[in-house]
Amino acid sequence: MIYFDNAASTAVHPEVVKEMIPYFDIQYGNPSSIHQFGRKAKSAIQKARKQVAALIGAEPDEILFTSGGTESNNTILYGIPKSQGPKFVLNHIITSSIEHEAILEPCRDLEKNGVKVTYLSVDEHGIINPNDITNSINPQTVIVSVMFANNEVGTIQPIKEISKICNKYQIPLHTDAVQAVGKVPINVEELGVDALSISSHKINGPKGVGALFIKKGLTIAPEILGGGQENGMRSGTENVASIVGFGKACEIAKERLNENISHFQTLYSSMLSKIVKEIPHVKLNGNTEKRIFNNIHLTFLGVNGEDLIIKLDEHGIAASTGSACSVHTQKASHVLKAMGFNHEQITGSLRISFGYMNTLDEVDQTVEVLKKIVAELRSVSPYKTKYNF
C-alpha cells in the first residue's frame, strides 16, 4: 500500500503514540483537580502548549486548544463579531473564494444573520491580489481571513503583504495554516498575523485536536461556556492525551522541518519530471514556486479524476481529487472553479500529497501505475478524438 493522501490526514508518529498512552491509563486525572493526578495532567497540557507555541513562534498563553482546524476557524470567525455585542450584524468580513469549507460555511452562516462577507477572487494559480484587500476594507470590516496554503492545489498566499495592509488599517488578520504548518517555516510575529489555525492530524498527530493562535490583546468572544477551562475561552474537560500527542507532533515537526521540506522537494521534483516525461496531456496546477512541496495537483485531460482514484486504489495507492471535505457535497471543486478551470479540467484533477514516510521508490511505482491506468481510461474517454489519444 502507498499512502499519498497526507493532505487529508497523516499517520500518527510512533513517538507521538508513545507520549499519549500514559494519559489514558496512568495519568488520567482531570487537569482542574488539585491532587497529584490533576496537577500532572495540567502540567502535561502546559508542556504541550509550549511545544505548539514554539512551532509557530508564539507565546504559550496565546495558544487555545480546540478540536481541530474546523473548530479553530469557527472560533475566530464567530468570536470576533460576537465580541462586538449586538452590533455584530453590521460587521464585514473579508476572505478568499478558495478557503476550506471550515471558513466558507461559517461565513455563509454569518451572512444569513446579516454580516457582510467579501470573497476575494484569485488568479489562475490560486493567488489573491493583496490590493483587493485594500479596496475591500470598509469601516465595518472586523476581520480578514486568508488561508496560508491551499488544501487542494498547495498554493501559498502572500500573507506577509496582506498583514502589512491589515496592520495599516488595524484590522485583525487570521490565517488558516492547517496545510502550511510543518511544510514551511512559520513565525506569527514575522508574519504579523493576529490569529492562526492549526490541526494536529495533518502533522502526524492524533485526530480531533488542534489549536488557534490568538495574539495577546486580541479580544474574541468565548466559544463554549461552562467550567472556564482554556482561560474561559473553551470550557469542558481538556482532551489531555490528544493535546499531549499534538504537542509532541509539533515538537517533531519543528525539529525535522528542514529535513522534511527537502524530502518533500525531492519527491515533488522526481514525481513531476517522471509524469511529464511518461504521460502526455497533463497540466500542473497551482503556483510552481509559491507552494507547499508535499502537494502535487495535476489535471489529466480526458480522464475522470474519480475513476483515476478508484483505479489507483485497486493498485493499493491512496490519492485524492482534492478536498476530502467536498466528497460529502459532491460539488465540483470551488477552488478550481475560482481559478477559472473549465469542467473538463476540474473533472480530470488528481491530488498527490506526501508525508515524511513516503519514498522515491513509491513515487516510481505510482508513476508506472498512473501511466498504465491513464492510458486505459483514455482509450474509452469521450475526449478520445479531441486529443487523438
Ligand X SMILES: *Cc1c(COP(=O)(O)O)cnc(C)c1O
**Contact residues for ligand X, defined by CB under 6 A:** 68-70, 100, 102, 147, 151, 176, 178-179, 199, 201-202, 210
Closest CA to 79 of 61, 106, 42, 113: 106
Question: Which among 107, 166, 250, 325 is annotated as catalytic?
Answer: 325
| Burial bucket for residue 277 (CB in 10 Å: 0-12, 13-18, 19+) | exposed
The amino acid at residue 67 is: S
Q: How far is the CB of 372 from ligand X (least distance, A)?
A: 30
Nearer to ligand X, 285 or 381 (CB): 285
The amino acid at residue 28 is: Y
Backbone angles phi, psi at 27, to 5 degrees: -95, 60
* Catalytic residue list contains 325: yes
With beta carbons less than 8 A apart as the criterion, state whether 177 and 198 touch.
yes
Q: What nine digits make up the cell of 269?
A: 521534483
Nearer to ligand X, 177 or 220 (CB): 177
Nearer to ligand X, 10 or 27 (CB): 10
Residue with the shortest CB distance to ligand X = 69
Q: How far is the CB of 314 from ligand X (least distance, A)?
A: 26
Q: How far is the CB of 311 from ligand X (least distance, A)?
A: 25
Backbone angles phi, psi at 216, to 5 degrees: -55, 135
Q: How far is the CB of 154 from ligand X (least distance, A)?
A: 11
Nearer to ligand X, 99 or 307 (CB): 99
DSSP 36-73: HHHHHHHHHHHHHHHHHHHHHT--GGGEEEESSHHHHH
Sign of CA dihedral 32, 38, 41, 42: positive
Indicate which residues carry an active-site annotation. 325
